[in-house]
């Protein structure tokens, strides 16, 4: 949402947790507003009334959707049963994410883009290619894969000077240390 303001683009966010939405609004409000709409709604993306949202803004569709879901159950973000980080199985996670994709891309204008930021995970002594499973969901739902970007954690501001900590956590928990996540870009 901050990038929307900086780029002078309207943006609407949907967040499940009220405290996260409140904190996000606070951070957004610290940015200079260039006359753009940057609203955050508290709600569940899997049963959100997107048509009502479009109606409120007198719009027929959106031009870009960005998804950044939890990486299944790596980190529990809340106790809310609707939170994707609380799904009991990989299949349940993928089924719930697919519902979000189906519902939200209905308002994506034809020829426009969406993207998901997602990483893989390590569980039960094996790599779970979560990113590629998610990529397949978008393609299954008639979105065309246009690009795969690999974001290196070592080069992100949020992970600077934390390599030793991440390495320690991985070794202490018998985990594989991932140093990347994917950004898959699709066109409707």
| Domains along the chain with CATH numbers | 44-187 (3.40.50.150)
What are the tens digits of pLDDT across the range 21-59? Answer: 999 999 999 988 888 999 999 999 989 999 999 999 999
Predicted local confidence at residue 162, as pLDDT: 59
Residue 92 has pLDDT above 70, yes or no: yes
* pLDDT tops 80 at residue 165: no
pLDDT band at 120 (very low <50, low <70, confident <90, very high): confident
Q: Report how far apart the first and last C-alpha atoms of the chain are (Å, whole number).
A: 22
Q: CB-based burial of residue 114 (10 Å sphere; 0-12 exposed, 13-18 middle, 19+ buried)?
A: buried
Indicate the helix (H) or strand (E) that contains 32.
none
Residue 106 has pLDDT above 80, yes or no: yes
Lowest mean pLDDT among 53-62, 90-99, 125-134: 125-134
pTM: 0.83
Q: Which residue has the tokens 């990038």?
A: 3
DSSP codes, 100-168: HHHHHHTTEEEEEEEEEEE--EEETTEEE-HHHHHHHHHHHTTPEEEEEEEEEGGGSGGGTT-HHHHHH
Say how far apart CA 18 and CA 172 lie, in whole Å.
33
For the chain, the average pLDDT equals 86
């Amino acid at each position: 949402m901050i990038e929307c303001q900086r780029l002078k683009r309207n943006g609407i966010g949907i967040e499940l947790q009220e405290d996260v939405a409140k904190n996000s609004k606070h951070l957004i409000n610290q940015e200079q507003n260039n006359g753009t709409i940057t609203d955050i709604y508290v709600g569940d993306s899997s049963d959100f009334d997107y048509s009502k949202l479009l109606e409120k803004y007198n719009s027929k569709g959106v031009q870009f959707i960005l998804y950044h879901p939890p990486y299944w159950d790596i980190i529990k973000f809340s106790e809310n049963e609707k939170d994707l980080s609380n799904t009991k199985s990989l299949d349940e996670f993928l089924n719930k994410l697919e519902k979000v994709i189906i519902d939200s891309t209905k308002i994506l204008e034809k020829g426009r883009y969406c993207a998901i930021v997602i990483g893989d995970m390590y569980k039960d002594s094996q790599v779970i290619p979560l990113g590629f499973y998610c990529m397949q969901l978008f393609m299954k739902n008639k979105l065309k894969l246009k690009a795969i970007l690999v974001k290196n954690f070592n080069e992100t501001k949020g992970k600077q000077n934390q390599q030793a900590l991440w390495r320690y956590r991985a070794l202490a928990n018998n985990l594989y240390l991932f140093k990347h996540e994917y950004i898959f870009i699709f066109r409707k």
